[in-house]
Structure 1
Amino acid sequence: MRFNDTQEQTGAPLIDPFGRTIDYLRLSVTDRCDFRCVYCMAENMHFLPKAEILTLEELDRLSTAFIEHGVKRLRLTGGEPLVRKGIMTLVSSLSRHLETGALEELTVTTNGSQLSRFAKDLAAAGVRRLNVSIDSLKEERFRAITRWGRFQQVMDGIDAALAEGIKIKLNVVALKGVNEDEFDDMIRFCHERGMDLTFIETMPMGEIDQDRTDQYLPLSKVKQDLAQNWTLTPTPYKTGGPASYMNIKETGGRIGFITPLSHNFCESCNRVRVTCTGTLFMCLGQEDAADLRAPLRASESNDGLMQAIYHAIERKPKGHDFAIDRLTNRPSIGRHMSVTGG
């Protein structure tokens, strides 16, 4: 499908070559993080120069351009988005699109470390749902996985967000031989607090300090193991993301599964990602990308920016090529997840 200047100027929706409407943007606001999770980063990371990072005003303008062309869900990611200086200025500004109804949902993916500071402000800005990434409820294991994380700080943050009425979904990366003995406890922990829980297969992105082939745990096996203790029933519930959900009879709660390796979710993909440098990735598992920073900074008009976005959407692929190379242990994608945005 080809886009023309008239469509670019009139707010025409973003529709890819396979007829999928792109109405979900995941926007990274920083590549920096206060954790160093073993499956995500090397311990000694080299972060991007600040001159390459979009300003808060540029992030707002970019988000608004997408919203004006049909994006209904916006998720702020990182790195850890809440370590970005002045982040609440951006969140508060974007909340105007919730008030007009142009945006249906503004959400954040976080490691929870800063939630005690920001939960009240996030709720006031209209954030009704958060994804909190945590891979162990055992303090020593949590410290080993995150390297720099403080377990109680995250727990306090979760409590603060729940107290503000924000719904929380815990995201857990399933790591073979690391945290698979905790999954039953995680279900109880979440459902006793009215939280959802989503399991995620480890993604082969970026060089880390460990062997990913040792970490990989297919969620098909996780489902089989959980079915020994729980009654799992598929549900059509969706949040707009890639997870498939099941209800648990015994708790009345939900668990989700994100399976980029064992069973991809590309046929219904409605998402694109923009990095904190303004690079648009049409697919998480492909290297093709478009530079939005140059047209954003070249003119106060959005004509060039929207032309770049539309032409990029024309190239959105049918699916990704995630795989773990068991011979070389090289990642499928060279960039780190923290650079792309979660």
Structure 2
Amino acid sequence: MLVDSFGRTIDYIRISVTQRCNFRCVYCMPNIPMNIGSEEEDVPLEGVLSFIKVAINEGVKKIRITGGEPLLRKGIVDFIAQIYQLNPDIDIALTTNAYLLAPLAKPLKEVGLKRINISLDSLKKETIQCISKRNGLEKILQGIEAAKKEGFLIKLNMVPLKNINDDEVLDILEYGMHLGVGVRFIEFMENAHAKNDTKGLKAREILEKIEKKYTFKLLQQDIFGPATLFEITQAQESYIFGIIAPHNDDFCKTCNRIRLSSEGKLIPCLYHENAIDIKEAMLYGDSQEILKSLKLCIENKPEKNDWNENQTSMRAFYKTGG
């Protein structure tokens, strides 16, 4: 079991399998060339599996595959199958923009993937184009529908941005309600790679938009993630939505996560710049060195992040999976 110096059990690892992405979202990597990197620059998936074996042996129970856009990675279906074969009880999840998801939904379900988080920042074609620099709404919705058909546990992630999509908070919420899937609203994470002057809604502002139409009550922390949950109860029906608010001090109290970047770096906290390079150990399948670095990463995990509204992180979220 992995326990940090503040008594938190670390049993959840987010693994970025590539920094490459087919979107250029304003809050993430708008100024990065579309032809960034190549498959050869990503740590080989066999090496990543060497790390995963050690992590599972140390008590990790949940693994989320991220990017960049993880569905760009060749062999991603076989990779997830191999994780499942290591331990069928591992909760394997994926975060994707869904642009490539529709034809892969069934194969991913068949090899053991359980959960999918899908970025959906708008239901308007022109707004998706504005945010991501890609005319992708149709394919995104097709991906969501395919995932729903296959029976995945689905969460839709929206980053509400001022003067861009902040008028769609209720629309995205009601789309999730109608589809019967969860919605998570995520506060914009200030970072040096985002478009200049990008401003997001804070949790309070998001809730104010929702309460104009719905009444809700606070529930609890999401046991599968960092969201604070709220329940809407109207017309004898209930619906649960969540808000991920890293600006809130409570965000860190129950943090059970570390990250592995596509470059082979272990990151104890998203909003700290420290990291441990384990690429070589993964390439050689050196389980002892991997374990040593994993324990050091847990030891270095801070009590809380360094986030404040006047400080911009230099961390590239497209390399760490956000």
User: Under a length normalisation based on structure 1, what TM-score does the superposition of the two structures give?
Assistant: 0.89
Q: 1:57 maps to what in 2? A: 46
Q: Higher mean Cα deviation, 182-191 or 152-161? A: 182-191
Q: Which residue of 2 aligns with 1:41?
A: 29
Partner Cα distance (2:306, 2:181) in 1: 32
Which deviates more, 284-293 or 221-230?
221-230
Runs of 4+ in structure 1 over 3 Å off: 43-52
Higher mean C-alpha displacement, 181-190 vs 25-34: 181-190
Check whether the contact 2:39–2:73 (CA below 8 A) recurs between aligned residues. Answer: no
* Corresponding residue number in structure 2 for 1:5: none
Give the aligned length: 319
* Mapping for residues 46-195 of structure 1, pairs under 5 Å: 47-48=36-37, 50-99=39-88, 101=89, 103=90, 105-195=91-181
Structure 2 gaps, min length 5: none
Check conservation: 1:28, 1:77, Cα contact below 8 A. Answer: yes
How far the C-alpha of 1:35 sits from its partner, in A, is 0.6
Superposed CA offset, 1:61-117 (max 9, x none): 111211110100000000000011111110111111342x3x2x1000000111112
- The residue correspondences of 1:182-331 to structure 2 (distance < 5 A) are 182-212=168-198, 215-236=199-220, 238-250=222-234, 252-297=238-283, 299-325=284-310
The one-letter code matched in structure 2 to 1:317 is P
**1:14 alignment counterpart:** 2
CA RMSD of aligned residues (A): 1.7
C-alpha distance in 1, partners of 2:152/2:39? 32
Residues 335 and 301 of structure 1, relative CA distance in 2, 3 Å threshold: closer
Question: Contact conserved, 1:233 with 1:246, CA < 8 A, in 2?
Answer: yes
Partner secondary structure for residue 252 of structure 1: strand
SS in 2 for 1:171: strand
Letter in 2 for 1:83: L
Q: Deviation digits for residues 143-168 of structure 1, max 9, x if unmatched?
A: 11111241101101111111111121
TM-score by length of 2: 0.94
Cα drift, residue 41 of structure 1: 0.7
* Shift in CA distance, 225/24, structure 1 to aligned 2, threshold 3 Å: same
Name stretches of at least 5 consecutive residues in structure 1 with no aligned partner. 1-12, 326-330
Name the counterpart of 1:10.
none
